[in-house]
Amino acid sequence: MKFDTPAQQNPIDQLKVIGKPTDRIDGPRKTTGTATYAYEHHQQLADAAYGHVVGAGIAKGRIIAMDTDAARRAPGVLAVVTAANAGKLTKGDFNTAQLLGGPQIQHYHQAIALVVAESFEQARAAAGLIKVQYQREHGAYDLAQARAGASVPKDGEPDTAVGDFAAAFAAAPVQLDATYHTPDQSHAMMEPHASIARWDGDQLTLYTSNQMINWGRGDVAKTLGIARENVRLLSPFIGGGFGGKLFVRADAILAALGARAAGRPVKVALQRPLIANNTTHRPATLQRVRIGTGKDGRITAIGHESWSGDLPGGGPEVAVQQTRLLYAGANRMTRMRLAVLDLPEGNAMRAPGEAPGMMALEIAMDELAEKLGMDPVELRILNDTQVDPEHPQRPFSQRQFVQCLREGAKRFGWDARSSQPAQVRDGRWLVGMGMASGFRNNLTMKSAARVRLDRQGKLIVETDMTDIGTGSYTIIAQTAAEMLGVPLQDVDVRLGDSAFPVSAGSGGQWGANSSTAGVYAACVKLREQVAEKAGIAVSDAQFSDGHVHAGDRRVALGELAADGELVAEDAIEFGDLGKKAQQSTFAGHFVEVGVDAYTGETRVRRMLAVCAAGRILNPKSARSQVIGAMTMAVGAALSEELVIDKRLGFFVNHDLAGYEVPVHADIPHQEVVFLDETDPQSSPMKAKGVGELGICGVAAAVANAIYNASGVRVRDYPITLDKLLDGLPQVV
């Protein structure tokens, strides 16, 4: 199905099932422990051996010698895999570094060996017996130092310009010029990267924790040098990904190599330190924001520059992209520069680009409001735009940005906020409010599904879409139930298998809208088959209560499949509507914090997000996504930072003891409001993504609340108490 004209009235608009706050249909399996994750396929692979990964002990250099003899002789050991005996390996399309290093080492904890043994403990013990001699080389590990040598990235639009930014900024009566720093961050998902591999002749079956099955299948085949059709990936349940499992990592490739070497299935889970150093992370940024306005607060010049780093061949953190679209202003400039760093690979983490970009831009807007003597909400409203500021002929398909801010301010009691910092006390706590805009582009991707109608009138939906904790099972079931008029319990959803039609996968906030649109397309085809078999004109056919009917004719769906199931398969292919009109999602984020007047400790007291993100397919799971994103943003604001050893080039706090993510006690009640909205230009579902919008801007709202509470402005995340102590008001 080609989607190249705006959606008209369709069966989804009935909203009998879609749009309802529905419990997740996979919930019982999750809560009873019967949802099978990558490392847990014990019944299918009862004879699986265990692999333990050895990571490089240097960040850059070469392996001079590796002694594996003692490991090979250790009890229970079946095989030791290294670059020397793994055979020819290539680099996949989505990797920056080799997934099995040696003799060249590209980053710390790059996998250099896998020990396979009968038990996990035997594999781990034997891995400790491997002796490696390295020749260490000088590396670049400090973004601030590498900034001067940063260059223009090869891909994308690193530089944009409209009007004459420099002249307009110089002439602006009110100017802000500030630099901000966001640190390296870890995805820190609960389920580690894990895989089990089995070979049947030249056929590889890989149970793996991966968000994008089709991408992963292609990269496994390319890396191992085997035919794509000889690879089957299965990932029915994923315990969190946040972008860290968009791409195949070392666990998958080494499990396959280990299984081939040992002659039996092998399971591999990356140790927690290797999740930080071996897999991808959100790269640090240095960002300079310059905004010039008239005395009335209208932006006349806005410029945003960002520096980030990655391994050779990598890409930048696109932290300037929201600045191109969020606020009006005739004279505009954005620039990105990429430094070569010898740290582990930087790549996508929840809301790549906008999350760190808005951590800078939205503090800058708060600072600008103070310079102008304006309310921060009103400054943003004043600079709203209904068209793409770089291309004014392109309107936004939907833009309820101002409504998000107005509704948020009203609900949060923003009018009670003191405009002067450090004025409100609650015992020993300095109390303040902050806000920020939320913005994330709506992305869509071709997505396919297969729908079967069986003799009992039940539906089976098959697509390689994944559920990373986001509720994909449920919204896909809701879509099929709405389209065919059957109860939700009569829909069986099967996900995460490369044998199924290729979906959009989970990532970039495109998964829900795209994958349900693909199911919609398949269901349209199935409706046509059903109506034809029932002798009803498709245009007249109505589907409800497990029947198809028109006029006096009413037939149970099961009857139509009595002589064999009906099967339909189709894909949604998106046209150029996204080019004709800018499709984006918006939010207003409001936060209240308390800052301890004696210690500088910050506690978040209240949080509110008001979101405009198209039709909300399931308000319950959508709220869950937004509050999870808000929680991640609190971590980004207050605690999360991968600390670099700048001498040796590794992340020091590479475990959950040293890398501090928020826990329940850190998070207060979170309120989420979804504005009533449909976007016919987005998809037949008239929906958009929302799971990443919830993180965009929240960290800045926390930072702005801290400033309002304490009078201390911090531009270097995370805002830890040591950065506040010297500037706190004197305690009387």
Q: Does residue 367 sit in helix, strand or coil?
A: helix
Instruction: Give the count of alpha carbons within 13 A of 692, CB side only.
Output: 29
Within 8 A by CB and 6+ apart from 348, the residues are 243, 246, 280, 507, 508
Token couple for 472:
């994909």
The number of beta carbons lying within 10 Å of the beta carbon of residue 413 is 13
Give dist(CA 575, CA 682) in Å, integer.
Answer: 10
The number of beta carbons lying within 10 Å of the beta carbon of residue 14 is 16
Token couple for 692:
């990443």
Which of the 8 DSSP states describes residue 149?
G
Helix runs in 588-638, H state only: 619-638
Q: Which residue has the tokens 């690979």?
A: 345
Q: Does residue 346 sit in helix, strand or coil?
A: strand
From 370, 640, 641, 692, the catalytic residue:
692
Chain centre to alpha carbon of residue 678: 23
Q: Are strands 602-612 and 670-674 parallel, antiparallel or unpaired?
A: parallel
Token couple for 328:
């009006």
Give dist(CA 533, CA 280) in Å, integer.
Answer: 51
Give dist(CA 347, CA 191) in Å, integer.
Answer: 19
Q: Does residue 650 sit in helix, strand or coil?
A: strand
Give dist(CA 354, CA 216) in Å, integer.
Answer: 25
What is each CA distance from 47 to 115, 124, 360, in whole angstroms? 17, 18, 52
Give dist(CA 120, CA 76) in Å, integer.
Answer: 10
Q: Check if the beta carbon of residue 673 is closer than 8 Å to that of residue 562.
A: no
Give dist(CA 431, CA 646) in Å, integer.
Answer: 37
Token couple for 657:
């003891």
Q: Check if the beta carbon of residue 130 is closer than 8 Å to that of residue 115.
A: yes
528: annotated active-site residue: no
| CA dihedral for 691, 694, 700, 703, sign (positive or negative) | negative
Q: Which active-site residues does the annotation give?
A: 692
